[in-house]
Amino acid sequence: MAHEATHDHHDDHHHHAPQGFFQRWVMSTNHKDIGTLYLVFSLLMFFIGGSFAMVIRAELFKPGLDLVQPYFFNQMTTMHALVMIFGAIMPAFVGLGNWMIPLMIGAPDMALPRMNNLSFWILPFAFTLMLSTLFMAGGGPAGGWTMYPPLSLQSDSLAYVVFAIHLMGISSIMGAINIIATILNMRAPGMDLLKMPVFVWSWLITAFLLIAVMPVLAGAVTMLLTDKYFGTSFFNPGGGGDPVLYQHVFWFFGHPEVYIMILPAFGIISEIIPTFARKPIFGYRAMVYAIASIAFLSFIVWAHHMFAVGLPLGADIFFMYATMLIAVPTGVKVFNWVATMWGGSMTFETPMLFAIAFVILFTIGGFSGLMLAMVPADFQYHDTYFVVAHFHYVLVTGAAFAIMGATYFWLPKWTGHMYSEFWGKVHFWCSVVFVNVLFFPQHFLGLAGMPRRIPDYNVAFANFNMISSIGGFLFGASQLIFLGVVVHCAFFAKKKATDRVWEGAKGLEWTVPSPAPHHTFEVPPVVRDEELAHGHTDD
């Protein structure tokens, strides 16, 4: 039994962790410590990005400009998106992957531990560079996170943002290479690819997406940089360029990027639901194939972000059909989650609550996605608050809820203590109520004709904006409960977590002690199918 070897470390697991703070955290090559760093960084960025959102919702609280100048408002919308996407959601998933993938596949660490350290420590510098522009004379980027030229070329902070994005891209690419190398080469003997947890599968596929599209983003922003400072005309019609080409290249990155932010969430939900339903996941292979098909389709739907740029009729039709096709594998996933719950024996701890909310609210985001795919209707929806509502349902109640659920799910394994179930549930119910107060009225605003990214609006939009803002403030405040629960669990909680933590938990990560010792699986564990969450893959 492999666990005996790791159990030896249980009593003196601090023995292997470096003693000094600097040594331990800055010089770390340990996947668990780096995972923790990623998660802490992501939480910090979540609050910074959230504070930008508070500025936005405060300005939109009622008609009339009361707080900020329009240009600063545009900086807020731009920075909110960049920080949340590249600073909060993506690093959170990388952190979860870092922590859990080696534990789930029985590897001693990531395949490239030193590169792992580098890919994390690039991020604080990248975000310092980007956020510093807010304090400069010309202000931060204000052309939207998509940075469409020619507008983005008018910004003085373009170079800072481009370099920051290059750094984030390098970090993501190194992280992705590391994850693929780990999953393909470091699995314990007997951990076949089709016995891996769905979370590991989702990260494997996500990492391939990252590798394919982050270089394309780097290329696109490099061309912006040379257009602004070195006299090229990639996107300048005056020099024979074409601004629409930027959008094609950007969305070739941008659409897979959307799935980079949701596929690991699918994986997390596919771990949480079977655990609390005490029943194996329904259609394991179908789940894996669905993730793979969504990933494939994500490469051929990019222009559905551009239906209003005047694409040729044939292109409109192709991208509409391809986009609608994504509803099929996504539907399969949702149906399979429901089927996993059906016939189970469910309990509703906080991770399960977040997972159930994810399935319902992500599906609502999927529905509005299907509506947006219909090109004639998209001519109306495009660039309105309907789109804002859509992608916040997918990214907040989708990706962010999955990350929160995952945090509650694995926090006892990380810290060795149980979090406060009461406060976890308070956090859940506050979040799930207020997030709907925040985003649901935005559907109506969009349908009624309110464009995105405007700092002020006609009084006809006043009522729903005020409701949305109130929801926003309360949702933002609710996240302080989350912070409190996590800090309490990490430093003050008394209740010890068992090794298995949850009654229905299956998989290698639950065979190591809680908290997980500094080094695990130094000797590859003996994998026994019945101990795995997905050991019997007869379907």
Window 73 to 92, contacts with another protein (CB under 8 A)? 74
The least CB distance from residue 236 to another protein, in Å, is 8
Of 363, 397, 415, 511, the one binding another protein by CB under 8 A: 363
- Of 51 and 146, the one with the shorter C-beta distance to another protein is 146
- Exposed/middle/buried for 327, CB within 10 Å: 0-12, 13-18, 19+? middle
- Within a 10 A sphere around the Cβ of 404, how many other Cβ atoms? 27
Active site annotation includes 171: yes
The least CB distance from residue 155 to another protein, in Å, is 10
- Of 231 and 343, the one with the shorter C-beta distance to another protein is 343
The least CB distance from residue 177 to another protein, in Å, is 5
How far apart CA 175 and CA 378 sit, in angstroms, is 36
Active site annotation includes 293: no
Long-range contacts of 68-74 (CB under 8 A, 24+ apart): 68/455, 70/455, 70/456, 71/139, 71/142, 72/139, 73/455, 74/142, 74/143, 74/144, 74/453, 74/455
Find how far residue 77's CA is from the centre of its chain.
Answer: 18
How far apart CA 126 and CA 116 sit, in angstroms, is 16
CB of 455 within 8 A of CB of 78? no
**Binders of another protein among 183-242, rule CB under 8 A?**
184-186, 189, 211-216, 218-220, 223, 234, 237-238, 240-242
How far apart CA 14 and CA 25 sit, in angstroms, is 14
**Binders of another protein among 398-417, rule CB under 8 A?**
none
Query: Could you tell me how many residues of this chain bind another protein (CB under 8 A)?
Result: 138
Q: Does 516 bind another protein (CB under 8 A)?
A: no
Stretch that binds another protein, among 123-131, 260-268, 320-328, 420-428 (CB under 8 A): 320-328
Residue of 330, 350, 368, 511 marked catalytic: 330
**Binders of another protein among 436-465, rule CB under 8 A?**
444, 447-464
- Of 479 and 517, the one with the shorter C-beta distance to another protein is 517
Residue of 255, 382, 427, 534 marked catalytic: 255
- Of 372 and 493, the one with the shorter C-beta distance to another protein is 372
Nearest to 144 by CA among 437, 376, 532, 453: 453
Residue of 25, 38, 99, 145 marked catalytic: 145
Active site annotation includes 410: no
The least CB distance from residue 285 to another protein, in Å, is 8
CB of 536 within 8 A of CB of 529? yes
The least CB distance from residue 50 to another protein, in Å, is 22
- Of 333 and 417, the one with the shorter C-beta distance to another protein is 333
- Round to the nearest angstrom and report the end-to-end CA distance of the chain: 28
Active site annotation includes 503: no
In degrees, to the nearest 5, what angle opens at C-alpha 187 toward C-alphas 534 and 168? Answer: 100
**Binders of another protein among 244-303, rule CB under 8 A?**
244-245, 248-249, 252, 277-284, 286
CB of 188 within 8 A of CB of 527? yes
SS (H, E, C) 437-501: HHHHHHHHHHHHCCECCCCCCCHHHHHHHHHHHHHHHHHHHHHHHHHHHHHHHHHHCCCECCCCC
Instruction: Give the H/E segment covering residue 97.
Output: helix 90-105
Active site annotation includes 145: yes
The least CB distance from residue 207 to another protein, in Å, is 9
**Binders of another protein among 485-514, rule CB under 8 A?**
504
Q: Return the DSSP state at 22.
A: I
Nearest to 54 by CA among 438, 447, 431: 438
Active site annotation includes 333: yes
**Binders of another protein among 162-181, rule CB under 8 A?**
173, 176-177, 180-181
The least CB distance from residue 286 to another protein, in Å, is 6
- Of 100 and 183, the one with the shorter C-beta distance to another protein is 183
**Binders of another protein among 23-42, rule CB under 8 A?**
29-30
Of 125, 229, 296, 379, the one binding another protein by CB under 8 A: 379
- Of 8 and 477, the one with the shorter C-beta distance to another protein is 8
Stretch that binds another protein, among 46-54, 110-118, 427-435, 488-496 (CB under 8 A): 110-118
CB of 496 within 8 A of CB of 418? yes
Find how far residue 301's CA is from the centre of its chain.
Answer: 20
Active site annotation includes 478: no
Q: Does 343 bind another protein (CB under 8 A)?
A: yes
Q: Return the DSSP state at 12.
A: T
Active site annotation includes 248: no
Q: Does 140 bind another protein (CB under 8 A)?
A: no
* Catalytic site positions: 80, 109, 145, 171-172, 255, 257, 259, 270, 304-305, 330, 333, 452
